Amino acid sequence: MIQVTMPLNFLGTVYREIRQALVDMGQMFGLLDQPPEVQDQSGSGPLAVSDGAVELHDVHFGYESDRVILDGISLTVPGGSTTAIVGPSGSGKSTIGRLLFRFYDVTQGAIRIDGQDLRDVTQDSLHAQIGVVPQDTVLFNDSILYNIAYGRPDATRDEIEQAARAARIHDFIAGLPQGYDTQVGERGLKLSGGEKQRVGIARTLLKNPPILLLDEATSALDSETEASIQSELRLLGQGRTTLVIAHRLSTIADADEIVVLEQGRIVERGTHDALLARGGRYAALWQRQQSEDAA
């Protein structure tokens, strides 16, 4: 009996981890009901992550053959560092995230993780190594405990509470009449945008992936909640390679590199201070956002 159930449990765990990553990614990029565009190559092996360095090499991509969306993007995110991608709506920021997750294949160039071309590794192993925190975390109609443990279903109760504390959602949960057993989701307690994001952070802390993809679109959060969640996001990013798709510049000022995208090309890159001093596109975006915030 044991011989049978152990592999099944293991498969269930792997399946759930992959499904969670896909659900989060699908939610993040509005791709939930789409059939997969790419298949594993026969003979492809698992991705082996050491440093977690992510490299885009001369990436070209279009959803349709007659419209270029990314036009020669090259960038390297060294293991453990943070790169933020900013730029106007439609410039191709989220598309880079979709390609990193290999929802689509590049039409020219390559994306590599620790030197391995994404096309040469299995998608399951790729998805297992990337944590995603979308702005609107999907909650399952189940207990809050289940929803956090989804990051790693074999986690102990202690580990789950530790992750919830680090994501600063433990006190909120402990204050609910049924605590961690509270039912959430559509048929249960509705959580606010900020609370949901904290559940997403706790889930990802538990999963402990070497690579993170953050969607910092903040339309779901008011600025006070956004500010208070930043420190938890920073904690989550510590020691992990992080790619931030940023819609608000205030949240990425301390990134190791900021890349400014316009019409699928990188038009500026550097640190926040260097880009401000340069007085170009980033500085103009920054000025505009500062005056919008003041209004």
Q: Which residues of this protein are in contact with ligand ATP, per CB under 6 A?
A: 63, 69, 87, 89-95, 247
Q: In whole angstroms, give the CA distance from residue 260 to residue 34.
A: 29
Pairing of strands 130-133, 257-262: unpaired
Nearest CB to ligand ATP, comparing residues 14 and 217: 217
Residue 92 Cβ vs ligand ATP, minimum distance, rounded to whole Å: 4
Residue 132 Cβ vs ligand ATP, minimum distance, rounded to whole Å: 15
Residue 67 Cβ vs ligand ATP, minimum distance, rounded to whole Å: 7
Residue 260 Cβ vs ligand ATP, minimum distance, rounded to whole Å: 11
Residue 76 Cβ vs ligand ATP, minimum distance, rounded to whole Å: 20
Q: How far is CA 178 from the centre of its chain?
A: 30
Quickly count helices (H) and strands (E) in the chain.
Answer: 10, 10
Q: In whole angstroms, give the CA distance from residue 169 to residue 240.
A: 22
Nearest CB to ligand ATP, comparing residues 60 and 168: 60
Nearest CB to ligand ATP, comparing residues 93 and 102: 93
Tokens 């900013």 correspond to what residue? 86
Give the residue from 227, 209, 210 showing the smallest Cα distance to 218.
227
Residue 141 Cβ vs ligand ATP, minimum distance, rounded to whole Å: 28
Pairing of strands 211-215, 82-86: unpaired
In sequence order, the β-bridge partners of residue 108 are 60
Q: Which residues, 6 or more positions from 274, have their beta carbon under 8 angstroms from its beta carbon?
A: none
Q: In whole angstroms, give the CA distance from residue 192 to residue 196.
A: 6
Residue 37 Cβ vs ligand ATP, minimum distance, rounded to whole Å: 10
Nearest CB to ligand ATP, comparing residues 100 and 163: 100
Q: Which residues, 6 or more positions from 282, have their beta carbon under 8 angstroms from its beta carbon?
A: 86, 249, 258, 260, 268, 270, 275, 276
Taking the CA atoms of 152, 115, 59 and 36 in sequence, report the sign of the dihedral they define: negative
Give the CA radius of gyration of the chain: 19
Residue 31 Cβ vs ligand ATP, minimum distance, rounded to whole Å: 8
Q: In whole angstroms, give the CA distance from residue 91 to residue 69.
A: 8
230: amino acid identity, one letter:
Q
Nearest CB to ligand ATP, comparing residues 52 and 92: 92
